[in-house]
Amino acid sequence: MKVVVVDPSLVPHRERFEAGLPAGTTVVWGDTTEAALREADVFVGSRFTPEMSAVAKKLLLVHVAGAGTDKVAFDVLSPKVFVANTFHHEQSIAEYVLAAAVLLRRNFLEQDWALREDVWATSVYDRSIPQPRALHGARVGFVGFGHIGRRSWHLLRALGTEGAAVTGSGTLDAAAEGLSWTADVGALDRLMSESEVVVVSAPLTERTTGLIGADQLRALGPEGVLINVARGPLVAETALYEALAARTIAAAAIDVWYRYPDSDGHAAPSELPFAKLPNVLMTPHSSGVTRNTFIGRVDDVVANIGRLHRGEPLQNLVVGHQLS
């Protein structure tokens, strides 16, 4: 069996990856040439194009080393080709959500900006600045409540917060999850108006693009904090910038963006100057990027390759592609 691995995040775990594979497996790292793809039984990477599919005639499995499969050209894959994904990012993202919620609700980000200019921006030294509130007792709203939302709530709940959630189906059991209430996205405006911190972790679809716009941000209000760890376009770009600039909302943590770089790793994340705003935490889609995340993903990918080798059912198959 030949495995082609092109995901750079797995390279630090190369020894672990290769050690877990079935005997006799050949691994090629970082090679997407026609010669490599032509002999590949398994392709591990986030992007699989029609051109690659046309060459990889022996292919049996495309395994994304993450959750998103939006860069896989499903429509040209043979029905014999499995597509699988993996997760393990929920704990790391939940830690980011918790850290961002504390950082922004307590105004630590803006205090950092000010102190770099020798300004002590706290109510102790400036009576015009109100005392910030702790996260304990805060109302947290979740837009989406899957792996990430649930794990984030587990950490936030430990600090004594209250929670509510809206989901696509609206079938979430509030009592079972320890939430005050749940509903479908028709109750989004209610969620925004009742929440002091809103965590966005819903999937991006045609229906959810621009789900949170100017009206919803106004409902969140001038003391509200928004944390987006889902996909940038779930929140309307211009509306978010204007809400932050005008202090319609207090602050935002943005880990997912509207523009992404090519392989050189350089690009403005938006056409708007978010970087000039002191009340926004900007991170490069890194909330889930930890060693822990990718060790878990390596183990999942390797386990699935082993199952493929033994003719056993695979796990984490992407529903709607593979035909039995």
DSSP per residue over 297-321, as a string? HHHHHHHHHHHHHHTPPPSSB-TTT
Q: What pLDDT does 264 receive?
A: 83
Task: List all residues 6 or more positions away from 191 whose beta carbon is below 8 Å from its beta carbon.
Answer: 141, 143, 164, 165, 166, 183, 198
DSSP per residue over 5-45, as a string? E--GGGGGGHHHHHHTSPTT-EEEES--SHHHHHT-SEEES
Q: Which residue has the tokens 């909302």?
A: 249
Rounded CA-CA distance 151/149 in Å is 6
Task: Give the CATH fold of the 90-282 domain.
Answer: Rossmann fold (3.40.50)
Q: What pLDDT does 70 receive?
A: 86
Rounded CA-CA distance 19/30 in Å is 18
Q: What pLDDT does 321 receive?
A: 42
Hey, how many other C-beta atoms are within 10 angstroms of the C-beta on 146? 17
Taking Cα atoms as reference points, which of 3, 150, 134 lies closest to residue 63? 3
Rounded CA-CA distance 282/274 in Å is 8
Taking Cα atoms as reference points, which of 55, 66, 63 lies closest to residue 4? 63
Give per-residue burial for 26-65: e unless 16+ CB within 10 Å, then b.
Answer: ebbbeebeeebbebbbbbbbbebeeebbebbeebbbbbbb
CATH 3.40.50.720 region(s) of the chain?
A: 2-88+291-310, 90-282
How many Å from the N-terminal Cα to the C-terminal Cα in the chain?
21
Q: Give per-10-residue mean pLDDT for the chain (324 aa).
A: 97 98 97 96 97 97 94 94 97 98 98 97 97 97 97 98 97 98 98 98 94 98 98 98 98 98 91 98 98 98 98 90 35
Taking Cα atoms as reference points, which of 205, 215, 145 lies closest to residue 180? 145
Task: Name the E strands within 223-269.
Answer: 225-228, 251-254
For residue 280, give the DSSP letter: E
Rounded CA-CA distance 239/32 in Å is 40
Taking Cα atoms as reference points, which of 289, 287, 300, 290 lies closest to residue 16? 300
Q: What pLDDT does 6 receive?
A: 97
CATH superfamily name and code, 2-88+291-310: NAD(P)-binding Rossmann-like Domain (3.40.50.720)
Q: What pLDDT does 161 receive?
A: 98
The 3-state DSSP class for residue 128 equals: coil
The 3-state DSSP class for residue 162 equals: strand
Task: List all residues 6 or more positions away from 13 whose beta carbon is below 8 Å from its beta carbon.
Answer: 294, 295, 298
Rounded CA-CA distance 129/111 in Å is 11
